[in-house]
Amino acid sequence: MFVTRIRVTTAIAAVAVLSLAGCGDADTGHTTEHGTSVSATATTSAPARAEHNDADVTFLRMMYPHHAQAVEMAELVPSHTDNPQVRALAASIEQAQAPEMQQITTLLQSFGQPAPSVGQEHQGHDMPSTPMPGTPMPGMMSAEQMAALRAASGPDFDRQWLTMMIEHHTGAIAMAETELADGTNPDAQALARAIITAQQAEIDQMRTMLGQS
Q: What is the pLDDT of residue 212?
A: 85
Tens digits of residue pLDDT in 76-127: 999 999 999 999 999 999 999 999 999 999 999 999 999 887 753 343 333 3
Homologous superfamily (CATH) for 54-209 = Ferritin, core subunit, four-helix bundle (1.20.1260.10)
Contacts for 104-107 with beta carbons within 8 Å, 24 or more apart?
104/60, 104/63, 104/64, 104/67, 104/191, 105/64, 107/50, 107/56, 107/60, 107/185, 107/187, 107/188, 107/191
pLDDT value of residue 135: 58
Instruction: Provide the pLDDT for residue 210.
Output: 96
Mean predicted confidence (pLDDT) in 52-58: 95
The model's confidence at residue 71, banded by pLDDT at 50, 70 and 90, is very high
* Lowest-confidence segment of 15-19, 63-67, 96-100 by average pLDDT: 15-19
The 10s digit of each residue's pLDDT in 151-203 is: 999 999 999 999 999 999 999 999 999 999 999 999 999 999 999 999 999 99
CA triple 159-161-162, angle to 5 deg? 70
Give pLDDT, residue 128: 40
Cα–Cα distance for residue pair 200/190, rounded to 1 Å: 15
On the CB side of 133, how many CA atoms lie within 13 Å of its CA?
Answer: 0
Band of the pLDDT at 31, cuts 50, 70, 90?
very low
Q: What does pTM read for this prediction? A: 0.72
Q: SS3 for 131?
A: coil
Delimit the CATH 1.20.1260.10 region(s) of the chain: 54-209
Query: What pLDDT is stored for residue 116 in this prediction?
Result: 87
Between 106 and 1, the more confident residue is 106
Q: What is the pLDDT of residue 208?
A: 97
pLDDT at 56 > cutoff 90: yes
Q: What is the mean pLDDT of residues 202-209?
A: 97
CA 82 → CA 3, 131, 134, 155, 172, distances in Å?
Answer: 106, 35, 39, 9, 27
Q: Band of the pLDDT at 20, cuts 50, 70, 90?
A: very low
pLDDT confidence bin for 136, thresholds 50/70/90: low
> What's the whole-number average pLDDT of the chain?
79
For the chain, what percent of residues have pLDDT higher than 70? 68
Higher pLDDT, 136 or 182: 182
C-beta neighbour count of 161 within 10 angstroms: 24
